[in-house]
Structure 1
Amino acid sequence: MCPVKYSHIIILIAHSKTAARILSEMFKTRTINKYYKALVQGHPDAPQTLDTPLEDKKAITKILSTNEQTDNAYSLLDIQILTGRKHQIRQHLADIGFPIIGDRLYGSKPKGQTSNDAVNLCLTAYKMSFESPFNSPSQAKHYELGSEFYPHYSHKDTSNQ
């Protein structure tokens, strides 16, 4: 099962109002690249771009790659979002028939499970990259969680750690 009751994420913290304003503008103009790992049942095609509008707004999700997991029943997807809509990744993957394991709203329960209640959402914000405006000349910044934080599922694991 996904090992925790919450998703792992990378966060960016500003230590001044000026930095907060600059970083906010970078998110708004989409100059910060955001990457996620999602565990789904089955094997979607990759690479592919999902661009179904959400709530009448542009939404773009890219599945960059897929790696088969656990007896070839699951895939760990590497995803980049180019927009930031609420539940964007979750909705886009569900729309193409590959909802994220443990997603109680858009829903996929693991093979052999009768409900999603014992399984946590298998989605991790694992990488962020951008050109830092705080250095002169600007420097490429890259932050990434270790693979131990990536979502995983083991049908032998029945605990909710």
Structure 2
Amino acid sequence: MEQKDLTYTVKEPTELLKFLLSVMENRSRNSVKSILARGQVSVDDHMETKYNYPLKPGQTVSIMKNKVAKREDVLTGMKILFEDEDIIVINKDAGLLTIATEKEKKLTAYFQLTEYVKRKNPQGRIFIVHRLDKDTSGVMLFAKKEKVKRKLQDDWKDMVKERTYVALVEGDVKNPTGKIKSWLKESKTHMVYSSPVKNDGQLAITHYKKLQSNGRFSLLELQLETGRKNQIRVHMQDIGHSIVGDKKYGASENPIGRLGLHAKVLSFHHPYNNRLMLFRADVPKSFMAKSK
């Protein structure tokens, strides 16, 4: 019989490690810290590894059971939507890195998928085609061969037919639809910004459609004509409606405990048989609830 995840509802403001220690009294502090570090804990709809992550009353904390987490076929913070000999498509959780950083080497989509393919074929490899920010969730594509990666990257503009995101943004977006066009540059401190000078930087074009709004927050559907670094985040700040939880680009609050950005649809022609493929990842429930 498969063990189920443990789920708890937060009753009062606290920090994540403190909360876990209170509900897992039979475990040592180090054991609870390990559970957090292994990515076994999620808050509402995102994986969380920070000890001091602030919890609010009403939030749901889930803990994946140890035996389940240790099973080799379980991937942490993501789910495989499709796989063949050339590509793997996943639905990535908010909170999971795409690739390693100085601080985190193993709890990444790239590392886990590499281990996953090597179990089937010791010579197996994974290649990154595009990236999603750590705090962005949704559909993501990886290649299993270098020549596939090159083909996808070289012909990305022609092969990709649809990239749709949804964003929960601050305030009431007045126009039901819109187009944002600017030239993006990056500062020495890795802040991306729109240049006021035409052709000064990389051209970025984002189309948006308002899905719903309650005045305080709006839910937008976004189509990318270009795929620049932090493009949506900068463009939302440019129109005065920063993405919820995006402190880097002007957000004032974070009511959902994560960045309000999700890659909902990725549609592309398969690199070898040219078949048109379409993958979806459901819009997080917290996005819908906050903008109703």
Band of TM-score, shorter chain: 0.7 to 0.9
Equivalent position amino acid for 2:182 in 1: T
1:68 to 181, 206, 212: 212
Give distance in 2, aligned partners of 1:80 and 1:2. 26
1:127 corresponds to 2:265 = yes
Q: What is the one-letter code of the residue matched to 2:277?
A: K
Question: Residues 66-123 of structure 1: CA distance to partner in whole angstroms, max 9, x if unpaired?
Answer: 1224x4422111101111222110111111111101001112234xxxxx49832110
The percentage of aligned residue pairs carrying the same residue is 28
1:40 maps to 2:169: yes
- Is 2:148–2:271's contact at 8 Å kept on the other side of the alignment? no
For residues 30 and 153 of structure 1, what CA distance do their matches in structure 2 show? 36
Distance change >3 Å, CA 150–CA 130, structure 1 → 2: farther
- Distance in 2 (alpha carbons) for counterparts of 1:118 and 1:145: 18
Cα drift, residue 146 of structure 1: 1.9
Relative to structure 1, the CA distance from residue 149 to residue 23 in structure 2 (aligned partners, 3 Å threshold; closer, same or farther) is farther
Secondary structure in structure 2 of the residue aligned to 1:94: helix
Greater strand content: 2
> 1:95 — aligned with what?
238
**Bigger relative CO (Cα 8 Å, ≥ 6 apart):** 1
The answer on whether the counterparts of 1:9 and 1:126 sit within 8 Å (CA) in structure 2 is: yes
Count of residue correspondences: 145
In terms of Rg, which structure is larger? Answer: 2
AA aligned to 2:176 is A
SS of 2:269's partner is: strand
Richer in helix (by share)? 2
Question: Does structure 2 retain, via aligned residues, the 8 Å contact 1:124–1:150?
Answer: no
Specify the alignment match of 2:280 in structure 1.
144
2:155 aligned with 1:17, yes or no? no
**1:38 CA displacement:** 0.3
The answer for unaligned runs of 5 or more in structure 2 is 1-42, 47-94, 96-134, 186-200
Distance change >3 Å, CA 129–CA 118, structure 1 → 2 = closer
TM-score, normalised via structure 1 length: 0.76
